Structure 1
Amino acid sequence: MMRTVSAAETAPTLHPWAVHAEELRVRAGRHLAVDGLDLALGTGVHGLLGPNGAGKTTLMRALATVIRPAGGRLTLLGEQVDGRADLRTVRRGLGYLPQQFGFYPRFTVREFVEYMAWLKEMPKAEIPGAVQRAIDRVGLAAKAGARMKTLSGGMLRRAGIAQAIVNDPAVLLLDEPTVGLDPEQRLEFRELLRDLGVDSCVLVSTHLVEDVAVACTDVVLINAGRLVYQGTPEDLATQGGPDDPGDSPAERGYSALLRRYRAEESR
């Protein structure tokens, strides 16, 4: 006799926070790049800001489970990951675009995204459709058959974004995703971010404050591996004044917050 499947069994698993870090410490070599960070992120698009050397990339690598925390507690999609040996289940729910990503130059765009889908252990029957959707979403349909080695820098970046989203991840981590994109492509990328953030937790690391101000629902500012500020882009814009450096209210708010934080730390 066939059993009736309840709605509760087919509903997606919900977690209080997709990303939850408490007193998180992460090393980059011998340097403690993330130092006692508390962070909670849910559904939406979160912009990660900070100066060079702030620990953004190290934090992204830890959230992607590429490196293990040196201390504190890190929970992803309801699973505590610090110190765990088997992370396959968690990784199936992640998408990650590092600053520098590797690929086989002779692969076509489609072959590259298919290969990444296979590495993410997606069901074989779902891969062709998922790959086509990902390629379409980043605007590379016309280049799906082109070899990776022939792509421009901006197209390579879009192929990287396609592999990150092919598995419809619950947590999507994008480290400097707009590098190499022209102004029109950046506008299209902002629209894609808004779409992705409806159902997923998206964390975007960038130096472009305006991208965060326009595309993100939440701003996270870190310095020397510590949390300086977390709030809305609108609130960020109110933090600065006309004498603070920057060409926009968001940039002036960013500069003002860093200046005040550094002044307090130096006392």
Structure 2
Amino acid sequence: MIYAENAAGARGSQSVPADRSTRARVLRRISEAGPLTATALCSDLGLTDTAIRRHLDGLHADGLIEAREIRPAGRRRRGRPARGWVISSDGHSALSSGYDDLATEALHFLASAVGPDAVATFAEQRVSEVERRYAAELAGVGDDPHERAAALAAALARDGYAASTRPVEGGSGTAGLQLCQGHCPVQHVATEFPQFCDAETEAFSRLLGVHVQRLATLAHGDHVCTTFVPGVTATAGPSGPGPQTVDTNPTRITPTTNPSEGSSS
């Protein structure tokens, strides 16, 4: 631990970069799979309870993470619900690129000089380029939406979206799954230009072969982007925890959209 090592003189200064690296790992892991309890973080990162709680206290004090109550899915249990941690808007900013402001200014100029439709056209073109690459990766996966969603989550995670899949339980069993993105490299831009979220949602529908429904977005202030994929018998995808219900988590939303209906994004 850094405090013990500081007492050792020179060893203390060498520990600072390592401590900052661990802090960054904790923040990144929360962005990938939050809400996460301290116990889950200890297991995931192989750190002691003392080390995890020190980093959580520091991240929380700096406004980079926020607490959420976690209630297990299914039968309600007595006692206080567990406390999980999610990344805050400031935390996302800490993980974002320094070019966000420049990109936003360029899009404002495009909208002013050409018109607002130009931004939507640009968003669709940008997403279509990524969609073609993902479609090639999913070509050998088959037609099952669950398998395609897991493969898509893996591709998104590789590209920095901290993506995973989570099962959603309905009244008579599993209703489908959620494709979750704990980080978005263009969140700052999408906050002002939701056309990017709309284009991405439509691309997901085409890639998965079913109509999907966007339940939450980082751009709108939620702690994770969540897309519901209906009619799937789901298991947890890359880095995804099992079924859960969180007070402010979209898993509590019961989607009513039928795959044959038009897009609601």
- Higher strand fraction (1 or 2): 1
Give TM class, smaller chain.
under 0.3
**TM-score of the pair, normalised by structure 1:** 0.24
- Higher helix fraction (1 or 2): 2
